[in-house]
Structure 1
């Protein structure tokens, strides 16, 4: 009888242990949503590519700063939580989101139909796209058609790379892990043009207007939003609500003026 009881107890323990091992450590798998986990922890974890000024980058002291950082900090404050940032290489940032390395991405993510298959987005909070930057002494490149036969730079894994991949006739498309490296090579004549979001390029050349200029012609315009896992609609909605309140009370206008020198939210409150 004792052996039978012992066997039954052992079986019950084994079932309990294996059942426990089969569960994920994430809050959503344990019956709680990511939003409830964030509220309980008091912190929202955000993935960023910290090489993309003025959106998100390191200042001279090594501190993470930028438009996206200021926006995320204010939204989190409105939600009643703090922010924690996880710097992540752009070419792996979406995989890291779906692997639950962080709760969301606030890092100038262009909203595309392809990305919507694997993520959900906030409403667009800014509009970027694929603008063309050249040296100020360049007179041969005036539109996208003039990129044929040229060496062009872009950041790897971006929609600018996607746009360039659909074009033909270019001599080479050099892909950089950091946008700053692409502009450095442009200034030094190693590439003949760089394709990038206008905000990023404009910020980079603000102190180098004698070397680099942005063409009036662009390859496209893209809405930019905050990215979430498809299972985190409640988090996306809470984030959007806080964002809308900040736009209405003028907080986002102040952040825009700080980083861009103008209010991109004017007449949109």
Structure 2
């Protein structure tokens, strides 16, 4: 082979090698596929819903909005410490989820908008489950079976049912289902006064500014226990309302986890111990089966 032919052959080989290398450098690697169940929302489930429980665990805390003047569910003791049935139950559930519980007091009248604007993860404050509220948020399984009732002072013998409240001044909490029940069932009262907290309504009843208070039966029994002889329950139930934990509609994985732990606490007796501490009885016996 002549020198010219050798040179031409070498140049051709160099050209072919460069072309091959260029093609390899321009090829795009195949994207890595996520493992099954990782990084993909299950069919029909929004990414936000998938992330709810993971978000709470990543933050290391479950933030709950509550009314901190609502005994025995959540209130301040003489040392200004937050105590109550919901507090003990919530702290236990958070521990089982592997996170800490953070309680965030809020105005009850705006508690649902605050949840929806993500100021906290859940509403945990003896919240009655109603059809109207279910249009805006989801609820856990009921963890207390409740009712809206009427209480008056123990020495008031003239009020024995809703009909006896005609022309009377009645109090309840603003934004509560007690307010809804009073507006729906008590048409002839002289005035329905609303308060930011039930403690204020009870105080006004005690000093004679109110004739009666519409309140849930659990809270009413707490006041009867802590202030013996001061009040009595009128034998007239205005409405039956189970109590649940409020959760945003999209946070389905968090809802599932909370329901699982509530059921576990009822099954293993933890709920009963906490309930007996605050109510003197196991409230789970009254829950729908």
Structure 1 equivalent of residue 208 of structure 2: 189
Of 101, 106, 117, the residue aligned with 1:99 is 117
Larger of the two Rg values belongs to structure: 2
CA contact (8 A) 1:253 1:266 kept: no
Q: 1:128 to 1:30 in 2, by over 3 A?
A: closer
1:251 maps onto 2:270 in alignment: yes
SS in 2 for 1:181: helix
Corresponding residue for residue 97 of structure 2: 79
CA deviation after TM superposition for structure 1 residue 66, in Å: 0.5
Distance apart, 1:179 and its partner CA: 0.4
Q: Decide whether aligned partners of structure 1 residues 79 and 175 sit closer, same or farther in structure 2, where only a CA change above 3 A counts.
A: same
SS of equivalent to 2:157: coil
> Are residues 1:116 and 2:125 paired?
no
Q: Secondary structure at the match of 2:75?
A: strand
CA–CA separation in structure 1 for the residues paired with 2:267 and 2:229 = 38
Residue in 1 aligned with 2:260? Answer: 241
Q: 1:202 aligns with which of 197, 221, 224?
A: 221
Deviations 1:126-162 (A, max 9, x none): 0122111001111111011211111001000011101
Q: Is the 8 A contact 2:48 2:250 kept in 1?
A: no
Residues 1-269 of structure 1: pairs in structure 2 closer than 5 A: 33-166=51-184, 167-266=186-285
For the Cα contact (< 8 Å) 2:68–2:82, is it kept in 1? yes
Is this contact kept in 1: 2:122–2:247, CA < 8 A? yes
User: Taking structure 1 as reference, are residues 149 and 30 closer, same or farther at Cα in structure 2, changes over 3 Å only?
Assistant: closer
Pair 1:267–1:106, CA change in 2 (3 A): closer
- What is the alpha-carbon root mean square deviation over aligned residues? 1.7
Paired with 1:162 and 1:244, the residues of 2 have a C-alpha distance of 30
Q: What TM-score, normalized to structure 1?
A: 0.86
Aligned-pair distance for 1:185? 0.7
Contact 2:49/2:253, CA 8 A, preserved across alignment = no
Q: Aligned in 2, Cα 1:45/1:267: closer, same or farther, shift over 3 Å?
A: closer
Instruction: Please list the CA deviations of residues 193-239 of structure 1 after superposition, one character each: whole Å capped at 9, or x if unmatched.
Output: 00101111111232322221112222111011000000011100111
Number of equivalenced pairs: 242
- Structure 1 unpaired stretches of 5+: 1-27
Question: Could you give the per-residue CA deviations for residues 154-187 of structure 1, whole angstroms, max 9, x where no partner exists?
Answer: 0000111011112311100010101011011111
CA distance in 2: counterparts of 1:267 and 1:226, whole angstroms: 17
Please report the TM-score for the alignment, with normalisation by the length of structure 2: 0.80
- Contact 1:129/1:160 (CA < 8 Å) preserved in 2? no
2:10 corresponds in structure 1 to none
In structure 2, C-alpha distance between the alignment counterparts of 1:153 and 1:170, rounded to whole Å: 10
Could you tell me how far 1:32 is from its partner in structure 2?
Answer: 6.5
Residues 58-100 of structure 1: CA distance to partner in whole angstroms, max 9, x if unpaired? 1111111100111111111111111001100100111100000
